[in-house]
Amino acid sequence: MNKMQWIRINFIIVCIGVSLIASFNYIIDRYGLNNMVHLEGINTNKISNTNITTRFQISTLSHGGYDTLLLGSSRIGVMDPKVVDRYLGGHSFSLGQPRSVTSIQYDLFLYALEFNTIKNVVYGIDFLSFNKNNMINTEYLDKEEKIKSRNREYNFDVYFSFDSFIKNLKFIKHNISGQDVSKIKEPAVYLPENGMRKHVVYIEALKNGTLDLDNEIHEHLRQYFGGKENNIYYNYTFSDKYLEYFKKIVRYCHDHDIRLWVYMPPMLGEHFDAIYAAGYFDEYEHYEKEIAKITDFIDFTGINTISMDKDNYWDSSHLREEFTPVVMARIFYDTSVKVPNDFGVLVTKENVDAHLDALRTQVRPYDIRPLLINNN
Amino acid sequence: MLFNSFEFIFVFLPITFFVYFYLNHKRLTEVAKGFLVFASLFFYSWWNIVYLPLILLSILFNYVIGRQLANHDKNERKYSKKALLSIGVFFNLSLLGYFKYSDFFIRNFNMVFDSNVPLLHLALPLAISFYTFQQIAYLVDSYRSETKEYDFLNYTVFVAFFPQLIAGPIVHHAEMMPQFANIRNKVKNYYNIALGLFIFSIGLFKKIVIADTFATWATNGFDKAEVLNLIEAWFTSLSYTLQLYFDFSGYTDMAIGIALLFNIKLPINFNSPYKATSIQDFWRRWHMTLSRFLKDYLYIPLGGNRKSEVRTYANLFITFLLGGIWHGAGWTFVFWGALHGLALVIHRFWKRMGFRMHALLGWFITFNFVNVSWVFFRAKEWDDAIKVLKGMIAIDQIYFPVALSGKLHFLEKYGIGFSHFWTSHISANFVSFIWLFTGLILVFFFKNSIEMAKNFKLSYRTALFSAIAYIVSILSLNKVSEFLYFNF
């Protein structure tokens, strides 16, 4: 073999090898990032892209085409954007970033504005988003620079990846052998067209009668209240800095004629009780008061007809998808939908004190110790 | 710009290569050289352009001093040549000292005198340790009248030539300049290109696929875990030992491969160091150009082994102590350097006494010494080093996987436990052990890349081997990480 031949052959093999693997990854697309090729029994049943939440969100948003944002934590992620579309007539994207604080929500909000003409924001604001000690997820941190500099997200690195190749092979093996794909997926999955967190595993388990709801609720409460540093309410301290980010979003919407609806997503009654038992209720009241100073909002928290029934939830925090119409009907004042009277209270700076007094009376005794003990 | 990045492999390198040879082909050799300088400085500035003025100042200053030194005798200058050299060396060391060691000295000053002098928090200019050493060598060579006269463009190419600029190998003026001057090197040499691509592919694979894999376990063990049991601690230290080897030698391979594309032969920097049978042998095989620099410009000027035996020991020790400090402004580096200095002193004493040791035992001791001393080299804090070392001797903290408890339950009476979490602190699993085992086999029993390059044949086998290395590496570039020696 001569020198030129060697170089040429080397180059050709590399080009063919890289192209083949990248094309394979693009076609198999286990996360549903492009959804271009559907091969029945091979790649149609996608796995959860929960582990690439931020990538998925910014990659989808950077293609544009949305006029409504559902902003907030994972609690807004489980709401169905199609229901919002019915009221606003546009194209909504669910920008629910799990356990996010308001600075993250602000960055994502500005990122979405860069590539879309946003006219409406439905903001589900959470107590957890104001915890000074809330840990920020590493996947978001990896993308933070890109989000802040408003750079478009491409997925080339997912396709041009040997790691993806191996995982796609495993994914195909699962599909072909008829094994349960849920074994390789997380409990939530984003729907590519609108970013909603759809709890497919829960849905399947519910259908099969294997959903252990008590356990899910308990595990979730541990993730919030357990004493570990990475728990959501760990050493809860209300952050004025995070409040400023919330203010910025509200101000931005007002200044740019973006219609804004703010609400506090519903949580299971036990979760609400546990906030009191954990000694965070003063902080909780402070949080609601501060929000009321900035904007009116609909408060779905507390003990009410919906929150008292655990079967309405997937765990302690996430309301089931089928309740989206009820929540949105209250937010958009749709009287044609039957909404329990005690579900969703309009809170303003005038009635916030009375509302909080009422909330305090709703608190029921709750034994928080098992959550703390099991976690340490 | 990193060698292991998309922008370097697919944009910078091809453009630089083709433009450079196109200009040479058009007989615009000076323009081609100028372009190479521009490309190298662009490569350097990619990280942060604020570093650029400093390197240019350093190049200009050393060039002027070097020329004065080289022309001193010819021009019968009235000033002292030695004084001029001293000024030159002082300037280089001051630059290095200011940027690299200011905060280290202030921190220690504050500690000793209980004062509160604020730290400067200076950003360490990229590659300052490397280009400073390279230029000190140039000044000394000029003082010894061992350099020929070259113009500023030539000198800038010598310092800034991008394959070796960031992390070595540390090159000599005398071995580089004739290559840049050689007219035959200005024409594309397809054998060199094939060989360069072959070596580059090995280096890229070493860095991306192997070193970065070991990095995960090393980082978990050193930086994340709070305690380590015996197996975890050994896994951590060995992971770093392999990570450093594959990272640094991978970088050097890439540098050698890229330089070959331009018909420049960089010196060998690694020769299977973990096969060394003594500590002296190790330093003849590890970062060979640094060892050469330390020997020629520190150990020998200190007196080398020409004075008394005690002085020889002292010179050895001082050389390695300073070598340790050169690697980083921290007491862990000083201690690491001292450990190696001490080991070399013991080795010399051993040899002088006429004692002998079986090569296998020598290898075993050397490898383990190197492995243990890397713990200090890697640890960010003393406590981290102690944590890992404590784990390595924690014979009461041995755990095997529960799956083995059935067959090996008799070990329990020797204090060995079985746990589901036997390697959980470093997030290792069964596959990790296969990696570790394979890594060790590769460094102990396989030919190194330079040996492979020596036997390089233009065949389908080597083309396929290299192509597979490229494919896997290119498809792993999405987890780009910096080279360890960038920090030193």
Residues B400-410 as b/e (b if ≥16 CB within 10 A, e otherwise) read bbeeeeeeeee
Residue B234 or B483, more confident: B234
CB B21 within 8 A of CB B189: no
Residue pairs spanning A and B at CB distance below 8 A: 68
Q: How confident is the model at residue B77 (pLDDT cuts 50, 70, 90)?
A: low
pTM of the model: 0.78
ipTM score: 0.82
Whether A259 shows a pLDDT value over 90: the answer reads yes
Identify the band that residue B133 occupies on the pLDDT scale cut at 50, 70 and 90: confident
**Using one digit for the tens of pLDDT, what is the confidence trace for B388-414?**
999 988 877 777 777 777 787 777 777
Least confident of A175-189, A338-352, B353-367: A175-189
**Coil, strand or helix: which one is A345?**
strand
pLDDT band at A182 (very low <50, low <70, confident <90, very high): low
Do A10 and B478 lie within an 8 Å CB cutoff?
no
State residue A211's pLDDT score.
82
Residue A96 is inside which H or E element, if any? Answer: strand A92-96
Q: In chain B, whose CA is at the least distance from the CA of A8?
A: B463
For chain B, report the end-to-end CA distance as a whole number of angstroms: 17
More confident site: A254 or B357: A254
Distance (Å, rounded) from C-alpha B219 to C-alpha B233?
12
Residue with the larger pLDDT of the pair B426 and B11: B11
Task: Give the percent of chain A with pLDDT over 90.
Answer: 56
Q: Which amino acid would we find at residue B324?
A: G
Chain A residues closer than 8 Å to B191 by CB: 3
Give B192→chain A minimum CA distance, Å. 9
- Chain B hits for A165, CB-CB cut-off 8 Å, are 475
A3: chain B residues, CB-CB within 8 Å: 190-191, 193-194, 458
Which residues from chain B sit within 8 angstroms of residue A17, using beta carbons? 467-468, 470-471
* Shortest CA distance from B196: residue in chain A: A7
The stretch A276-288 carries a mean pLDDT of: 93
The proportion of chain A whose per-residue pLDDT surpasses 70, expressed as a percent, equals: 97
User: Which of A1, A17, A163 comes nearest B471 by C-beta?
Assistant: A17
Q: Measure in Å the smallest separation between the Cα of B470 and chain A Cα atoms.
A: 7
Q: How far apart are the C-alpha atoms of B316 and B299, rounded to whole Å? A: 7
Please report the pLDDT score of residue A376 as a whole number: 42
| Cβ B20 vs Cβ B38: under 8 Å | no
Query: pLDDT digits over A209-239, tens only?
Result: 888 888 889 888 988 988 777 788 888 999 9
Torsion sign over Cα B410, B428, B437, B287: negative
CB < 8 Å from B in window 4-23 of A: 4-7, 9-10, 13-14, 17-18, 21-22
Encoded tokens for B14:
């091809």
* Neighbouring C-beta atoms of residue B356, cutoff 10 Å: 9
Classify B267 in phi/psi space as left (phi over 0), alpha (psi -120 to 50) or beta: beta
Going by pLDDT thresholds of 50, 70 and 90, the confidence category of residue A375 is very low
pLDDT tens track for A25-81: 999 988 888 878 888 888 877 787 787 889 889 988 998 899 999 999 989 999 999
- Could you tell me the pLDDT band of residue B355, with boundaries at 50, 70 and 90? confident
Supply the angle between the helices B359-378 and B382-392 in degrees, to the nearest 10.
140
With beta carbons under 8 A apart, name residues in chain A contacting B470. Answer: 10, 14, 17
Chain centroid offset of residue B484 CA:
8
A98: left (phi over 0), alpha (psi -120 to 50) or beta: beta
State yes or no: is B327 an active-site residue.
yes
* Percent of chain B clearing pLDDT 90 (strictly above): 40
A185 confidence band (pLDDT: 50, 70, 90): low
DSSP letter, residue B277: S
Question: Which chain A residue has the Cα nearest residue B469?
Answer: A14
Measured between CB atoms, which of A2, A9, A18 is closest to B471? A18
Question: Which residues in A lie closer than 8 A to residue B197 (C-beta atoms)?
Answer: 7, 10
How far is residue A334's CA from residue A112's CA, in Å, rounded to a whole number?
28
Longest CA–CA span in chain B (Å) reads 86
Residue B144: pLDDT band (50, 70, 90) is: confident
Output the average pLDDT for chain A: 89
Task: Give the residue carrying structure tokens 């009375």.
Answer: A354
* Alpha-carbon separation of residue B389 from A301, B230, B236, B293 (angstroms): 52, 9, 10, 31
Chain B residues with CB under 8 Å of a chain A CB are 190-191, 193-194, 197, 458-460, 462-464, 466-468, 470-472, 474-479
**Of A47-56, A145-154, A305-314, B309-318, which gets the smallest average pLDDT?**
A47-56
> Quick check: A89 and A67 in contact, CB under 8 A?
no
CA distances (Å), origin B350, targets B239, B311, B319, B347? 31, 16, 19, 5
The answer to whether the Cβ–Cβ distance between B190 and A158 falls below 8 Å is no
pLDDT in tens, A189-210: 777 778 898 887 788 788 888 8
CB-based contact B470 A162, cutoff 8 Å: no
Closest residue on chain B to A2 (Cα): B458
Q: Look at B459 and A1 and tell me if their CB atoms are within 8 Å.
A: yes
Contacts of B6 (CB under 8 A, 6+ apart): B477
3-state secondary structure (DSSP) of residue B399: strand
Q: Calculate ∠ Cα A235-A240-A246, nearest 5°.
A: 110
Contact residues, chain A, for B263 at CB < 8 Å: none
Which of B327, B340, B347, B425 is an active site residue? B327
CB–CB contact B194 A157 (8 Å): no
